[in-house]
Amino acid sequence: MAASSMQRMNFAGVDIPRLGMGCMALSIEGRPERDTAITTIHSALDAGVRYLDTAWSYYLPEYRPARSAQTPSRLQSPATSGGNDYRSDYGERLVHDALSTWRGARDEVLVASKIGWSRTVDARGRYGWKADARPETIISQAKESAHRLGVDSFGLLYSHCNDPQVPYDEQMEAFRHLVDEGVARAIGISRVDNANIDVALRVLGKVLIAVQNQFSPSYPDPLHTMEHCEKHDLAFVCWSPLGGFLDPVDAQAYEAFKAIAAERGVSYQRVVLAWELSKYDRLITIPSARNPHEIRDSFAATQLTLSDEELRRLP
């Protein structure tokens, strides 16, 4: 299924549909078995997805409970979390292996990764995240990611977060160094506010091409970073575009979308994604999926045009 011309854009030098795929759900707690994950990525690419978004930190750290500790019921067991592969390269290696076994044109696919974050698990089996954007970490993780994904140079590499322990301009200088070294050709930044965007623009200039922030009906960009991106002609890539699966979601925010979906005879997720694509012509939405059906349904949003009347009924 081809995306309409209105739903495509040139991004990091590649002509892609404005709906890609976030690969986090295939790599962390609750992930499917590896074969299912590979099939899901293949299904995404066969449907028309040409942007895959992964990260250095997309893996499941091994939980080793103390003898006296009880395993919390929310902890994912190996049987429900893609087996007992706890290596930190799991997510990037998964994308590499899926692409290397896909029969399509690899040079049509933009693969981006994010660095500066890692995973944690505490003594009670609670998973978390830890920022580490020291310049030496940024540089080493970027080179590790390139090796894992089998690329000489990233078309697009993201800063995964703003590490509060490191001045943001120092973090951006490390990314500038990676561009100068040829490790990356373009840079994106994630989990940022408008002040961070301004710092990144000052340090990186035109090699900064994208901001990846959370956006959905239940998280409508309270810091107005999408507007700031439009002002500076930056792409806005929205993560957790359907509300996410790790945090509680305000179900009420999706009622109007469900009403239109019922009238259209489509999933409400498809309506949400089509609404997001209507917000800004340089917006890219990257829904996650854990099986082929989910990503095929999501990609169909590139063929769904909401009417003016329908858009007036939505936020």
Q: Using CA atoms, how far apart are residues 8 and 67, in angstroms rounded to an integer?
A: 54
Residue 184 CA, chain-centre distance (Å), reads: 18
Q: Using CA atoms, how far apart are residues 272 and 257, in angstroms rounded to an integer?
A: 6
Which band of pLDDT confidence, cut at 50, 70 and 90, is reported for residue 81? Answer: low
Q: What is the mean pLDDT of residues 272-298?
A: 98
Q: Is the pLDDT of residue 186 over 90?
A: yes
> Could you tell me the fold of the domain covering 5-312?
TIM Barrel (3.20.20)
Q: Is the pLDDT of residue 199 over 60?
A: yes
Sign (positive/negative) of CA torsion 23, 14, 198, 284? negative
Q: Using CA atoms, how far apart are residues 156 and 208, in angstroms rounded to an integer?
A: 9
Domain positions in the chain are 5-312
Length of the chain: 315
| Residues 203, 249 contacting (CB under 8 angstroms) | no
Which band of pLDDT confidence, cut at 50, 70 and 90, is reported for residue 71? Answer: very low
Cβ-proximal residues to 10 (8 Å cutoff; 6+ apart), any chain: 16
312 phi and psi angles, rounded to 5 deg: -65, -25
Q: What is the mean pLDDT of residues 157-168?
A: 98
Number of C-beta neighbours around residue 195 at 10 A = 12
Q: What is the mean pLDDT of residues 113-135?
A: 95
Q: What is the mean pLDDT of residues 33-50?
A: 98
